[in-house]
């Protein structure tokens, strides 16, 4: 936390990937005024989303420091839960977000066309949110932007082999851009292979400024404004130092 604040990171969002991590995120948000929480069940853990788990997520979603439902979505790369259960869990949590009046944080890996179809069928665009650590193609990015969603850009944009992601990040409208760490994963260059943490965020902002040919101050301002618009709802947070 101190390293993040020293690096100029004033607000952090901790998403859940299962019930225990969702509870932990809420506890951190209660402890630190700089932390907000999201609650949700990741596609890797979709098989755990039974009725009692869904009821607990509903209860957690009502917490005043919870500002989103996520990470939710589809991961057909590792397939740690059966694909039908992933699809069902994604749809049910989109509906939960609608009931709670919260945006969503979408994880998608190698399931772009199915995620796109489900996104449209459930009218998820009405909720707002972010396609987290974006790894889709231009078609999916265009859909997300057209639906008013943000595109989350994380550490891989700094990697030498990420030319496609860098090109995509360069063309995303400023009002649809977010930067993320995905800590403890996806550590940006030159710290790749080490544990990631929020203090690495300025490295991603600097790379985005480079590929977009913009001052880093413009990237920081735009992504901070987008974060504030998406996640800091007046009824959910009171933080006078937010910038």
Tell me, yes or no, whether 33 lies in a domain.
Answer: no
Confidence of residue 233 (pLDDT cuts 50, 70, 90): low
pTM: 0.94
65-71 average pLDDT score: 97
The span from the CA of 154 to the CA of 161, in Å, is 14
Structural domain of residue 76, as residue ranges? Answer: 68-231
* Mean pLDDT of the residues in the chain: 93
Q: How buried is residue 206: exposed, middle or buried, by Cβ count under 10 Å (0-12/13-18/19+)?
A: middle
Tell me, yes or no, whether 56 lies in a domain.
Answer: no
76-83 average pLDDT score: 94
Number of structural domains the chain divides into: 1
Query: What's the pLDDT tens digit per position in 162-206?
Result: 999 999 999 999 999 999 999 999 999 999 999 999 999 999 999
Beta-sheet pairing, 104-109 with 177-179: unpaired
Find the CATH number of the domain harbouring 192.
3.20.20.140
Tell me, yes or no, whether 236 lies in a domain.
Answer: no
Confidence of residue 232 (pLDDT cuts 50, 70, 90): confident
Tell me, yes or no, whether 172 lies in a domain.
Answer: yes
For tokens 């937010």, what's the residue?
242
Confidence of residue 238 (pLDDT cuts 50, 70, 90): very low
């Amino acid at each position: 936390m101190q390293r993040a604040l020293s690096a100029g990171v004033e607000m952090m969002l901790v998403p859940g990937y299962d019930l225990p991590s969702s509870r932990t995120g809420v506890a951190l948000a209660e402890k630190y005024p700089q932390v907000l929480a999201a609650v949700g069940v990741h596609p890797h853990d979709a098989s755990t989303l039974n009725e009692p788990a869904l009821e607990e997520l509903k209860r957690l979603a009502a917490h005043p420091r919870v500002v989103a439902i996520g990470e939710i979505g589809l991961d057909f790369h590792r397939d740690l839960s059966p694909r039908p259960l992933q699809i069902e869990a994604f749809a049910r949590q989109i509906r939960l977000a609608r009931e709670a009046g919260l945006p969503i944080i979408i994880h998608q890996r190698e399931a772009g066309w199915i995620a796109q179809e489900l996104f449209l069928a459930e009218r998820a665009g009405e909720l707002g949110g972010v396609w987290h650590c974006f790894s889709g193609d231009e078609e999916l990015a265009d859909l997300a932007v057209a639906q008013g969603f943000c595109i989350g850009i994380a550490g891989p944009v700094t990697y030498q082999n990420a030319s496609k992601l860098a090109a995509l990040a360069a063309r995303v409208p400023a009002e649809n851009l977010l930067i993320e760490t995905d800590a403890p994963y996806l550590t940006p260059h030159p710290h790749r292979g080490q544990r990631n943490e929020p203090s690495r965020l300025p490295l991603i902002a600097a790379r985005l400024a480079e590929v977009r040919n913009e001052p880093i101050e413009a990237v920081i301002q735009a992504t901070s404004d987008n974060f504030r618009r998406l996640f800091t709802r007046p009824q959910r947070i009171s933080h006078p130092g937010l910038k």
